[in-house]
């Protein structure tokens, strides 16, 4: 776990650790816990052109418990003001209150087992006839996005390959791929393509946001 000192160091870390955690603060009373794949701390800086400044601090770890310990030791207002970001608060399975209202163990509880992730994945409401396909694809890819490797079930969707239609019975593991929701949208919009050999090709229109995935080889079904 390290506090990142430069934009490049930070971007390199979240790209290499999409399932990690980031503690972000831009003022003493605004301390937020994010998943590393959260758009608020991975797509574009919310204020100005830089992720890391004297006021905007980013501390990264593969476990939230490490971030709790760091925050308690280094941030005076941590116990009173630390919260999950509004997009990440439901990804852990609870509506997290302020740390002051919960024990650290409850606040940072995190079950990342495959059965638990599948349970959360199937809770998403979809047409009944699509649910079986979703489970088949989720299991085939081990519950991880084939491109970003993100394993947060609430962000994942089962996508049919272009030319495959669920109404025609194309609902086998070979008919689809598991993608993070934003990547699924780009795939459907044909701004993201996957070659016959599994190489990801990003449109020039989105390279400034998603260039880290360009020319990657997608994960194969397990």
Instruction: Walk along the chain (222 residues) and give the pLDDT tens digit of each residue.
Output: 578 888 889 988 888 887 788 889 876 678 888 888 777 787 777 677 888 888 888 999 887 778 888 888 888 877 777 887 766 655 443 333 343 343 333 334 455 677 766 666 666 555 555 677 888 999 999 999 999 999 888 889 999 999 988 778 888 899 999 999 899 999 998 999 999 999 999 999 899 889 999 999 999 988
107-113 contacts at long range (C-beta below 8 A, 24 or more positions apart): 107/68, 108/64, 108/65, 108/68, 110/63, 110/64, 112/19, 112/151
Please tell me the predicted confidence (pLDDT) of residue 170: 83
DSSP label of 108: T
Burial of residue 185 (CB within 10 Å: 0-12, 13-18, 19+) is middle
**Partners of 32 in the beta sheet?**
24, 83
Encode burial over 68-80: b for 16+ CB neighbours within 10 A, e otherwise.
Answer: bebbeeebeebee
- Quickly count: other Cβ atoms within 10 Å of residue 42's Cβ: 20
Domain definitions of the chain by residue range: 2-107, 114-213
d(CA 34, CA 67): 11
Strands 192-194 and 200-202: antiparallel
d(CA 71, CA 74): 5
In 3D space, the residue among 105, 79, 109, 78 whose CA is nearest the CA of residue 91 turns out to be: 109
What pTM was estimated for this model as a whole? Answer: 0.50
CA atoms within 13 A of residue 168's CA, in its CB half-sphere: 6
The residue behind tokens 């490490």 is 66
Q: With beta carbons less than 8 A apart as the criterion, state whether 145 and 192 touch.
A: no
d(CA 79, CA 81): 6
What is the crossing angle of helices 114-122 and 128-140, to 10°? 160
Q: Which 3 state secondary structure label does DSSP give 197? A: coil
């Amino acid at each position: 776990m390290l506090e990142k000192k430069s934009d490049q160091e930070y971007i390199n870390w979240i790209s290499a650790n999409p399932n990690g955690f980031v503690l972000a603060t831009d003022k003493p009373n605004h301390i937020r816990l994010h998943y590393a794949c959260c758009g608020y701390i991975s797509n574009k800086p919310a204020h100005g052109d830089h992720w890391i400044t004297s006021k905007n601090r980013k501390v990264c770890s593969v476990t939230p418990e490490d971030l709790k310990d760091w925050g308690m030791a280094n941030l005076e207002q941590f116990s009173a003001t630390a919260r999950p970001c509004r997009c990440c608060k439901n990804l852990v399975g609870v509506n997290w209150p302020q740390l002051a209202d919960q024990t650290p163990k409850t606040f940072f509880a995190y079950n990342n087992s495959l059965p638990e992730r599948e349970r959360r994945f199937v809770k998403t409401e979809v047409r009944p006839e699509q649910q079986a396909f979703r489970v088949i694809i989720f299991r085939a890819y081990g519950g991880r996005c084939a491109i970003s490797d993100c394993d947060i079930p609430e962000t994942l969707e089962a996508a049919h390959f272009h030319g495959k239609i669920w109404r025609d019975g194309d609902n086998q593991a070979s008919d689809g791929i598991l993608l993070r929701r934003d990547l699924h949208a780009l795939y459907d919009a044909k701004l993201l393509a996957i070659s016959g050999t599994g190489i990801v090709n990003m449109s020039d229109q989105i390279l400034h946001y998603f260039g880290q995935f360009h020319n990657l080889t997608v994960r194969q079904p397990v």
